[in-house]
Amino acid sequence: MIITQVLPLALGAFALALLLAAWRLLIGPGMPDRILALDTLYINSLALLVLAGLQYGTTLYFEVALVISMLGFVGTVVLSKFLSHGDIAE
Amino acid sequence: MTIEDLPLWLDLLLSALVIIGAFFALVGSWGLAKLSDFLKRLHGPTKASTLGVGCVLIASSIWFSIGLRTFSVHEFLITLFLFLTAPVSAHLLVKSAMHLDSSIRPPPPGATKDAKGNASPSSSSTE
């Protein structure tokens, strides 16, 4: 079966993508770069969870991925608002 | 039906979708780590979040719809939510970046840069 050989490869690719985003999070010269790196981190970890669900044959991870996508979006919006307005809710 | 005994066409389709998704996610993060400018760096992960995650979610949806014989729509919920929120967060990120450092704003078309690097409209475009 091809998919059983492809899935570990794809999991490795997503892990590498997470590492690259984490590197940008560490060095990234400005605050917007760090927020963008966090945004990429949550999107990639969401895809990694869905792939892990494929690998183990369980639907348990969908709810986790859905919650991560919602909270990650809220986090990005709040951090950007804080940078541009100095306040979260005005 | 488990993941070990799929028909060949389904196996090829799922493998292709997973490979394409992983490739785009890797390229997006590579661009995020490598490119030189914040506006250029913003360009990479948007591809990863639409094409990469979208392909992986479609593969997962096809596999659980056929493998478990139940129509699986969780993934489309995630895809829809990501596609709706990705432009909003990118827009807010650029707004905050321009608020912090207004010199990253590219010059408008037809404008020339003066000595301080600020964009000013050229004389021909103001007529």
- CA of B69 to nearest chain A CA: how many angstroms apart? 13
Which chain A residues contact residue B42 at CB under 8 A? Answer: 36
Identify whether A75 is part of a domain. Answer: yes
Q: Tell which wins on pLDDT, B63 or B6.
A: B63
Choose the weakest-confidence range: A67-71, B18-22, B48-52. Answer: B48-52
Residue A72 lies in domain: 2-85
Q: At what angle do helices A31-56 and B8-34 cross, to 10 degrees?
A: 160
B31 in reach of chain A (CB within 8 A)? no
This prediction has a pTM of: 0.83
Query: In order of start, what are the domains of chain B with their CATH numbers?
Result: 8-103 (1.10.287)
Q: What is the dihedral of CA B64, B66, B72, B74, to 10 degrees?
A: 30
Residue A90 lies inside a defined structural domain of this protein: no
> What is the Cα–Cα distance from B26 to A13, expressed in whole angstroms?
6
pLDDT for residue B118 is more than 60: no
Q: What is the distance in angstroms between the Cα of B109 and the nearest Cα belonging to chain A? A: 25
| pLDDT value of position A75 | 93
Asked if the Cβ–Cβ distance from B6 to A1 is below 8 Å, we say yes
Res A68 pLDDT > 80: yes
Q: Say if residue A15's pLDDT is above 90.
A: yes
pLDDT at A18 (0 to 100): 94
Task: Output the domain CATH number for residue A23.
Answer: 1.10.287
CA distance A12 to chain B (A): 9
- Give the pLDDT confidence of A23-34 residue by residue, as tens digits: 999 997 888 999
- Measured between CA atoms, the residue of chain A closest to residue B1 is A57
Q: ipTM of the assembly? A: 0.87
Give mean pLDDT, residues B32-58.
88
Q: What is the mean pLDDT of residues A41-59?
A: 90
- Structurally, chain A folds into a number of domains equal to 1
Model confidence at B114, in pLDDT bands (50, 70, 90)? low
* Distance separating alpha carbons of residues B26 and B20, to the nearest angstrom: 10
Is residue B53 a contact partner of residue A43, using CB atoms and an 8 Å limit?
A: yes
CA distances from B62 to A54, A64, B17, B75, B120 (A): 11, 19, 10, 10, 53
